[in-house]
Structure 1
Amino acid sequence: MKVTYVTDGDTLWVQPAGGGRPVKLRLAGIDAPEICQAGGRAARVALASRVARRTVVVATQRHDDYGRAVATVHLDGEDMAGWMVAQGHAWSYRYGREGGPYLRLQAQARSAQRGLFADPQALPPRLFRKRHGSCHPGGDGARRG
């Protein structure tokens, strides 16, 4: 599949290999800042600079409440969600008390003060949405999971 557009730091569109309409994907296991939140534009730029117009391998895990496929995306064998966390552009998505699949990478990025983690007051997107709502009221992205 070829990446046709990057919406934000954890959402992108891919063109199926056989053609057809692009499909909207949410990167599994991470939560990147909302586009209107501090770090949101930098996260989108980072992901776009890495995958835009590139061929990626996609493994869909499920669909979210907004109909997006939630998937792992690999570029040249590298997990893009893990890369986003390691670069400091996203948090490992928490599942209840679980720290999420990229907690170790998040700790390393925090320790190195990369990206979002250079700011000790950086607000995880789930808390930002709870306090300020979505950047897209009434639409896609109001809640993630």
Structure 2
Amino acid sequence: MRGPGRLHSRAALLALCAGLSGHLEAVAATRSNERNGVVYEARVTRVFDGDTLWVKPLEGGRYRKLRLDSLDAPEICQTGGRAARDALSARVLQRVVTVNERHRDHYGRALVHLTHQGEDVGAWLVVRGHAWAYRWRYGEGVYAGEERQARAQKKGLFADRDAEVPRDFRRRHGPCPLP
């Protein structure tokens, strides 16, 4: 078939392919979000300590209390606690971040991976010695390499041989008093 009919058929086929391609990209993004969690942009409105903060989603809705996943910063009343909070605050307070909510902890906080300008905020904290990388029963945590680097360079918490992991600090002293 030659002539205008064939051109209309090609145009229709191209439109169908473009629409299908867009649909497949949307499906892939949705599956990725299901696998990786809920992803959204938000403004950081408060930094409570070195691993807990509040955000306001840019899309609207309620403020959300978040905890950075895969790391543990010192308690606010523990040595290094204020430095960790101040570092996190200097990095993200009042800035727009990308939040990837993974799951919830036993306090109901969303456990998240947070990025600011494409940089993983958790990795940023650990490599500067403001937090410990989580360790799992059967392997190293996500930020184990960053912790090794901070330890080798004796950065932050890792400059102190006697720095105490927050879990042990809480076990020995209980929770910090609220401000």
Looking at structure 2, the residues matched to 76 and 45 of structure 1 have their Cα atoms a distance apart, in angstroms, of: 19
Looking at structure 2, the residues matched to 44 and 19 of structure 1 have their Cα atoms a distance apart, in angstroms, of: 26
Question: How far is 1:70 from its partner?
Answer: 0.2
Q: What is the TM-score when the length of structure 1 is the normalising length? A: 0.91
The AA in structure 2 aligned to 1:83 is W
Residue 109 (structure 1) aligns with = 150
Deviations 1:18-60 (A, max 9, x none): 2232100000110000000000000000000000000000000
Structure 1 stretches of at least 4 aligned residues deviating more than 3 Å after TM superposition: none
Looking at structure 2, the residues matched to 55 and 128 of structure 1 have their Cα atoms a distance apart, in angstroms, of: 32
- Is 1:19 aligned to 2:42, yes or no? no
Question: How far is 1:127 from its partner?
Answer: 0.9
**Higher mean Cα deviation, 110-119 or 91-100?**
91-100
Looking at structure 2, the residues matched to 30 and 94 of structure 1 have their Cα atoms a distance apart, in angstroms, of: 9
- Is 1:83 aligned to 2:124, yes or no? yes
Q: What is the TM-score when the length of structure 2 is the normalising length? A: 0.74
Looking at structure 2, the residues matched to 132 and 95 of structure 1 have their Cα atoms a distance apart, in angstroms, of: 24
The DSSP-based 3-state class of the residue aligned with 1:8 is coil
CA RMSD across the alignment: 1.2
The DSSP-based 3-state class of the residue aligned with 1:73 is strand
Residue 60 (structure 1) aligns with = 101
- Is 1:131 aligned to 2:172, yes or no? yes
1:1-12 to 2 correspondence within 5 Å?
1-12=42-53
Question: How far is 1:98 from its partner?
Answer: 2.5
Count how many residue pairs are aligned between Structure 1 and Structure 2: 137
Looking at structure 1, the residues matched to 174 and 139 of structure 2 have their Cα atoms a distance apart, in angstroms, of: 24
The AA in structure 2 aligned to 1:9 is G
Higher radius of gyration, 1 or 2? 2
Looking at structure 1, the residues matched to 140 and 149 of structure 2 have their Cα atoms a distance apart, in angstroms, of: 14
Looking at structure 1, the residues matched to 106 and 123 of structure 2 have their Cα atoms a distance apart, in angstroms, of: 23
**Higher mean Cα deviation, 119-128 or 89-98?**
89-98
Deviations 1:89-138 (A, max 9, x none): 0000122242311111101101101000000110011111111111158x
Of structures 1 and 2, the one with the larger relative CO (CA 8 A, separation 6+) is 1
Question: How far is 1:4 from its partner?
Answer: 0.3
